[in-house]
Structure 1
């Protein structure tokens, strides 16, 4: 039997934020078994630890339908479980993922693990052809005039690619009626995992919704990897206030699904642009259980 747990990431309230499966003892599971367990759990992503040693943990991420290269909220969930289980006490720790090595930092409050920070890959971005704007708007169920002209619309990644679509306000964001088939097709054409709609709510603060049918997730509740890419994109284009060499912001996501969460992001800038992206958040344990691979037990 394989032990697993479900963790709510980017929140300290179980059932809010974004749920992730966490499997610490996956070193003997085959790829097919990992996929079967991810499908059994049915949460947006499940992270499997395939090797654990001093200072480094090797992981793989699966949605209910396929393997993906990286997942922000599952990384935060894993960090919390490693800390709660005594596997990590705040020393330097690196996750070995399909997108490379991801350093983690543990933040405690009154001696209790409270927040996990991950340093994501550097920002990559590419423009979206202007004629595609209309198709993106229609796929989201809105008129093209609802797109915010003062914020960047582009494809970007700090681990996974999304196309970021700015909207004029949160009323438009909350009222979206996405056509998931069209979003799936656009995601393939633009070579991204999701269409990420966002709107400003204050200085350095944004609300967002993320539609990812291309990887088997109709709407992702709270998306850490995309929040990091969004803030890096905004900072790189001078759309966030900078103090020293740092720009900080918060993304609020999950309200449309009744599972609100918050993603904190810190972007470090140099004269050449974005240097580092750190994404942080809290997490709360939902439940624990055991799973028996098919053909066993």
Structure 2
């Protein structure tokens, strides 16, 4: 029997944000059983802790169909469960993932609510040729005239690669009609996990939708790793205001699915070089259970 917890990440309201499965005691669980449990839970990702001691945790992430290197919202969910169960009280903690080591930070507010911050893997970006603009727009159900020419269309990663498609207005996001088979093909051709459409809502606030059918997620409700990569991409191209060497912003996601959530991002910049990306958010426990598979 394997105990699991289902958590809503990037929200304080159970059932909103992005759902993640959390398995704290997975040291003896074979990979095949991890995959089966992730498929059973049908959360976009489930995180399995295979080791936790001396300020270091070793974790693995699975979608319902395959293992992935990293997942932001599942990491936030894990931090929430560790804090709730008294296994983490804010001391130094790093997670060893397939994308590298991820330091976590726990912040408690005056009301006792906890927020989990994680330092993302190193930011990387690569250009996407303009010839892809029309194909990406069409795959999202839009004309390429709806693509914002003043914001970056590029591939970027802070753990997982996405292609970022800027739209003129956040209202366009609600009317997207994604062609998921075509998005799967484009993701494979561009070497990314997802197609991430975003639009400005203010100087440092953005709305987004993220489509990842290539890894078994038709639409991810609220995506921590991609939210961090988006703000890092914008900061690297001078699209965010700086205070000293820092830029910060918010990403709203999940509204189209009826599960709104919010991602906080802080980016450290030296010149045009992004040196660190921190992503933070709340999480709420939905339910606990035992799997007998």
**TM above 0.5:** yes
Q: Distance in 1 between matches of 2:188 and 2:233?
A: 21
Q: Distance in 2 between matches of 1:271 and 1:151?
A: 19
Residue 121 of structure 1 corresponds to 121
Q: Distance in 2 between matches of 1:70 and 1:112?
A: 28
Q: Distance in 2 between matches of 1:111 and 1:171?
A: 35
State the 1:275 CA deviation: 0.5
Residue 11 of structure 2 corresponds to 11
State the 1:111 CA deviation: 7.0
State the 1:113 CA deviation: 4.7
Equivalent positions of 1:71-220 (< 5 A) are 71-110=71-110, 112-220=112-220
Equivalent positions of 1:14-53 (< 5 A) are 14-53=14-53
Q: List per-residue Cα deviations over 1:224-257 (Å, max 9, x = no partner).
A: 0000000000000000010011100000000000
CA contact (8 A) 1:93 1:104 kept: yes
Structure 2 unmatched runs, 5+: none
Equivalent positions of 1:221-260 (< 5 A) are 221-260=221-260
State the 1:100 CA deviation: 0.6
Deviates more, 1:166-175 or 1:207-216: 166-175
Structure 1 unmatched runs, 5+: none
CA contact (8 A) 1:246 1:266 kept: yes
State the 1:102 CA deviation: 0.2
Is the partner of 1:178 in helix, strand or coil? coil
Is the partner of 1:242 in helix, strand or coil? coil
Q: Distance in 2 between matches of 1:55 and 1:113?
A: 22
CA contact (8 A) 2:237 2:272 kept: no
Q: List per-residue Cα deviations over 1:74-109 (Å, max 9, x = no partner).
A: 000000000111110001100000001000000001
Q: Distance in 2 between matches of 1:138 and 1:272?
A: 32
Q: Distance in 1 between matches of 2:82 and 2:105?
A: 12
> TM-score scaled to structure 2, two decimals?
0.99
Q: List per-residue Cα deviations over 1:121-169 (Å, max 9, x = no partner).
A: 2211111111111100110000000000000000000100000000000
State the 1:271 CA deviation: 2.8
Equivalent positions of 1:44-63 (< 5 A) are 44-63=44-63
Is the partner of 1:112 in helix, strand or coil? coil
Runs of 4+ in 1 over 6 A off after TM superposition: none
Aligned-residue CA RMSD (Å): 0.8
> TM-score scaled to structure 1, two decimals?
0.97
Length, aligned pairs only: 293
Q: List per-residue Cα deviations over 1:261-287 (Å, max 9, x = no partner).
A: 000000011135111000000000000
